[in-house]
């Protein structure tokens, strides 16, 4: 059970076992459908087991991150064995970050499930048009398991994904992005842009906490999506707004990747401007509200 505390956005205990069902669906599809790759399934299941222990009993952060790093280096050795050690190290640390940011952003009803649907769905469409059926169906499998989960996770949530879902799904996002990049299906910027609604919020929040000397590895309520809820947004309004953002980012990235690759840098630049404007708007609203509270 996910029991609410001072850093939670929900008010009552809610089961956090939805990720087990999601990953169970992924495993069944991988074993049944021959068009899905299997090199990543064992590392993903290892992360499911470790994360389930963390959900159940709680594990030290050092142990969790060490396991994430080992699994990420393992995948780099499998997928990019001919790259030099420095490149594999950079990619592995990037994979650890993507693995964890899904967990960091799994704090509001329907949010992580929606990013799973839109993110992996966008990767799947791009891979399909690029002629990589294995990568396409691998992504479609993960996107599809988010649909039944969202039926129970959309506000008011009756079940949460938990670390046993958010951690391996974040790992698969980085793994599929790496497979497509190394296979020439897309540039490295494509999966980064597709998952940017989570990447931008989590990364900016992490940097701010590090600069302020805060314990960035601990749970908190400093994410931009959390601030919106604290400013009065309902979980439903937040989820719908995030879905619009995710759909816009995914659609523009896929269209540019498929039909106008030369325009991809322009699309990225436009979204950078949009994100800066959104972050500034939330920061300003948060500062105004804090000023009113002090008065």
Q: Supply the DSSP symbol for 219.
A: -
Contacts of 33 (CB under 8 A, 6+ apart): 137, 141
Contacts 24+ apart (CB under 8 A), 32-41: 33/137, 33/141, 35/133, 35/134, 35/137, 36/134, 36/137, 36/138, 36/141, 37/134, 37/135, 37/138, 37/179, 39/78, 39/79, 40/75, 40/171, 40/172, 40/175
How far apart CA 264 and CA 270 sit, in angstroms, is: 10
With H, G, I as helix, E, B as strand and everything else as coil, classify residue 14: strand
pLDDT band at residue 223 using 50, 70 and 90 as cut-offs = confident
pTM of the predicted protein model = 0.91
Measured on CA atoms in the order 277, 95, 182, 30, is the torsion positive or negative?
negative
Residues listed for the chain: 295
**Which tens digits make up the pLDDT trace of 18-61?**
889 999 999 888 887 765 567 888 899 999 999 999 888 888 88
As a whole number of Å, the CA-based R_g of the chain is 19
Q: What is the dihedral of CA 168, 173, 177, 180, to 10 degrees?
A: 80
> Angle between the 61-79 and 163-182 helix axes, to the nearest 10 degrees?
30
User: Which residue reads 């990019």 in tokens?
Assistant: 80
Better-predicted residue by pLDDT, 215 or 83 = 83
**The pLDDT value given to residue 242:** 95
Our CA angle for 284, 277, 214, nearest 5°, is: 55
How far apart CA 120 and CA 114 sit, in angstroms, is: 10
How far apart CA 291 and CA 186 sit, in angstroms, is: 46
Cis bond before residue 293 (omega within 30° of 0): no
Strands (E), the chain: none
Mean pLDDT of the chain: 88
**The pLDDT value given to residue 150:** 93
How far apart CA 18 and CA 165 sit, in angstroms, is: 7
The per-residue b/e assignment along 258-281, b for 16 or more CB within 10 angstroms, e otherwise, is eeeeeebeebbeebeeebeebeee
Extract the tokens encoding 111.
Answer: 């949010």
**Which tens digits make up the pLDDT trace of 245-295?**
999 999 999 999 998 888 899 999 999 999 999 999 999 998 888 655 555
**Which tens digits make up the pLDDT trace of 148-191?**
999 999 888 888 888 999 999 999 999 999 999 988 999 989 99
Contact 33, 141 (CB under 8 A): yes
Contact 135, 179 (CB under 8 A): yes
Contacts of 76 (CB under 8 A, 6+ apart): 83, 88, 91, 92, 95, 178
Contact 145, 25 (CB under 8 A): yes
């Amino acid at each position: 059970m996910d029991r609410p505390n001072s850093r939670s956005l929900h008010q009552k205990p809610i089961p956090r076992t939805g990720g087990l069902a999601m990953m169970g669906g992924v495993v069944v599809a991988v074993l049944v459908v021959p068009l899905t790759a299997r090199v990543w399934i064992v590392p993903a299941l290892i992360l499911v087991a470790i994360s389930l222990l963390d959900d159940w009993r709680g594990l030290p952060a050092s142990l969790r991150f060490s396991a994430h790093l080992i699994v990420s280096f393992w995948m780099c050795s499998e997928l990019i064995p001919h790259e030099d050690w420095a490149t594999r190290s950079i990619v592995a640390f990037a994979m650890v970050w993507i693995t964890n940011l899904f967990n960091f952003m799994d704090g509001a009803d329907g949010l992580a499930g929606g990013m799973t649907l839109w993110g992996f769905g966008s990767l799947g469409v791009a891979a399909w048009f690029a002629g990589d059926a294995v990568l396409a169906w691998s992504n479609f499998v993960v996107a599809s398991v988010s649909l039944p989960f969202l039926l129970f996770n959309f506000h008011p949530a009756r079940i949460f994904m938990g670390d046993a879902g958010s951690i391996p799904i974040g790992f698969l996002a980085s793994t599929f992005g790496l497979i497509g990049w190394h296979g020439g299906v897309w540039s490295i910027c494509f999966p980064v842009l597709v998952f940017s609604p989570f990447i931008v919020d989590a990364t900016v929040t992490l940097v701010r906490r590090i600069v302020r000397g805060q314990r960035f590895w601990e749970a908190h309520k400093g994410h931009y999506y959390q601030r919106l809820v604290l400013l009065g947004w309902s979980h439903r309004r937040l989820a719908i707004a995030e879905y619009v953002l995710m759909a816009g980012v995914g659609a523009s990235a896929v269209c540019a990747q498929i039909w106008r690759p030369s325009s991809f840098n322009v699309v990225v630049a436009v979204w950078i401007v949009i994100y800066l404007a959104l972050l500034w708007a939330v920061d300003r609203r948060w500062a105004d509200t804090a000023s009113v509270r002090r008065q």
